[in-house]
């Protein structure tokens, strides 16, 4: 064989190897990106469950005479703010996740204040409907924590994959960007102060 033919075959072989490697990497990145989108949908699903429980909780609490209107208004406003934040699964940047997490955190704080105030009303605590809603909210908060952890695990796998060589070359070419994580809320590293 001629030297030129051997070089041509080697170049064609390398190009074919790169094409097949690129196709495989691209397909894996698409699968992992879909996994992130699916995990995000599940996170939104459990947050939506919490949003759906709040009107029933507010209506149950409204039935108690003299219940603090400011607390109820705070919960209603926080729910409206949280439900207005929509994040596109294809654009899960750290800023978008932080914005979503912040609005949900405000709702969590408002619900926490509602539960603290509700403790001052024995007739409310004795209501079966309130107890069931409180239990469902607690279960939903646990589901949220589990789904956020699953989401972070899948995002870690995706981010690690697209940053490895040679995928990093293809990720940049095809627009596969790093996704954001759920992170601890500022101040979560400090234990709350309890006074009696």
Q: Which residues contact 26 (CB under 8 A, 6 or more apart)?
A: 170, 174
- Position 161 in a domain: yes
Using the predicted structure, report yes or no on whether residue 126 has a pLDDT greater than 50: yes
Whichever domain contains 166, its CATH number is 1.20.1440.20
- Position 48 in a domain: yes
- The predicted model gives 142-153 an average pLDDT of 94
- The Cα 114–Cα 154 span in angstroms is 34
- Position 14 in a domain: no
How many domains, the chain? Answer: 1
- Position 146 in a domain: yes
Which residue would you say has higher pLDDT here, 27 or 119? 27
> Quick one: pLDDT at residue 166?
86
- Position 3 in a domain: no
Using the predicted structure, report yes or no on whether residue 62 has a pLDDT greater than 60: yes
- Position 183 in a domain: no
pLDDT confidence band for 8 (50 / 70 / 90): confident
Which residues form the domain of 139?
32-174
Q: What is the DSSP string of the chain?
A: --HHHHHHHHHHHHHHHHHHHHHHHHHHHHHHHHHHHHHHHHHHHHHHHHHHHHHHHHHHHHTSTT--HHHHHHHHHHHHHHHH----GGG--HHHHHHHHHHHHHHHHHHHHHHHHHTT-HHHHT-HHHHHHHHHHHHHHHHHHHHHHHHHHHHHHHHHHHHSTTHHHHHHHHT-PPPP---PPTTTTSPPP---
- Position 63 in a domain: yes
- The predicted model gives 64-71 an average pLDDT of 71
- Position 186 in a domain: no
Using the predicted structure, report yes or no on whether residue 167 has a pLDDT greater than 60: yes
pLDDT confidence band for 43 (50 / 70 / 90): very high
> Quick one: pLDDT at residue 2?
84
> Quick one: pLDDT at residue 194?
37
> Quick one: pLDDT at residue 185?
64
Which residue would you say has higher pLDDT here, 186 or 70? 70
> Quick one: pLDDT at residue 192?
44
- pLDDT one-digit tens code per residue, 85-106: 888 888 888 888 888 999 999 9
> Quick one: pLDDT at residue 23?
84
């Amino acid at each position: 064989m001629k030297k030129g033919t051997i070089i041509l075959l080697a170049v064609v072989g390398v190009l074919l190897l790169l094409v097949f490697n690129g196709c495989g990497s691209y397909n894996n990145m698409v699968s992992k990106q879909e996994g992130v989108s699916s995990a995000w949908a599940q996170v939104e699903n459990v947050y939506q469950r919490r949003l759906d429980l709040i009107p029933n909780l507010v209506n149950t609490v409204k039935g108690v005479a003299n219940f603090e209107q400011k607390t109820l208004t705070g919960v209603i406003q926080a729910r409206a703010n949280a439900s207005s934040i929509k994040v596109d699964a294809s654009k899960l940047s750290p800023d978008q996740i932080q914005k979503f997490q912040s609005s949900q955190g405000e709702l969590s704080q408002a619900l926490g204040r509602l539960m603290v105030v509700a403790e001052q009303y024995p007739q409310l605590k004795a209501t079966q409907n309130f107890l069931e809603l409180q239990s469902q909210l607690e279960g939903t908060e646990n589901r949220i924590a589990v789904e956020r952890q699953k989401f972070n695990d899948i995002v870690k796998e995706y981010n690690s994959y697209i940053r490895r060589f040679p995928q990093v070359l293809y990720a940049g070419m095809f627009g596969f960007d790093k996704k954001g994580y759920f992170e601890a809320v500022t101040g979560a590293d400090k234990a709350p102060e309890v006074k009696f």
